[in-house]
Amino acid sequence: MTPDAREHGRFAGLLDQTADVGDVLVSGDLDADQARLGEHVGDLLARGVLPIVLGGGHETAFGHFLGHVAAGSDVYALNWDAHADVRPLRDGLAHSGSPFRQMLDHDSGRCRGYTVAGLLPWRIAADHAAVPTEVVWADDLDAARVDTIVAGLDGPTLATFDLDAVDGAAGVSAPGVGGLAVPVWLRAAEACGRSPHVRSVDVVELNPAHDSDGRSAVLAALTVWHVLRGVAARFVESG
């Protein structure tokens, strides 16, 4: 993908300051892998970098959160998702359905709260819907509500984008229908990029084995593109 043809200069200028800092190699030990991701994210945050974490299941989000713990920062979690991912651990072990419960319960107390936007009522148990600080159902989420949610952020926030929230996205670990329209999803990505409170982002749950035509990979890339477009606008607005 190329810089925004409508605002080429400032977007290209941002890309000049954007770098791929490499992969976090996984060992198969989820706790260790999340801790390793946290170390990398924490180092970037401490240096004033806005990290964008790509790949993995939603267990990635807990490693992402550990980066804020490592940087000594309290943080709010904003999750764009069809699921709340607040399931209990399984035999004491973390999994892709548990990251936000782990954040809320973490001994550090660094998680200030949790909003999940895009929930589908047929994909979540009622007791799980009661755990987040704020729940926004998919059928209540439009561009105006996206803007309201992001405008209401107050203090450091991590934004996490689970691709299975998008209506009809096939190349994900939990495909579904009835989710968010692509324009609403991309509006959320750009709004988060624009917000000075959003300090880090992840995009997760792309599953290449299910992505037969590559469209979900394009959606993931376009999500990052819109985050960066928002960041470019943020820098201009902040002077």
- Each residue of 135-188: pLDDT tens digit? 999 999 999 999 999 999 999 999 999 999 999 999 998 888 899 999 999 999
**pLDDT at residue 135, as a whole number:** 98
Q: Measured between alpha carbons, how far is 74 from 88 in angstroms, rounded to an integer? A: 23
Q: Give residues with Cβ within 8 angstroms of 13, minimum separation 6.
A: 232
Give the CA count within 13 Å in the CB-facing half-sphere of 88.
Answer: 4
Give ∠ CA 149-152-153 in degrees, rounded to 5.
100
Residue 55 bridge partners (DSSP): none
Predicted TM-score of the model (pTM) = 0.96
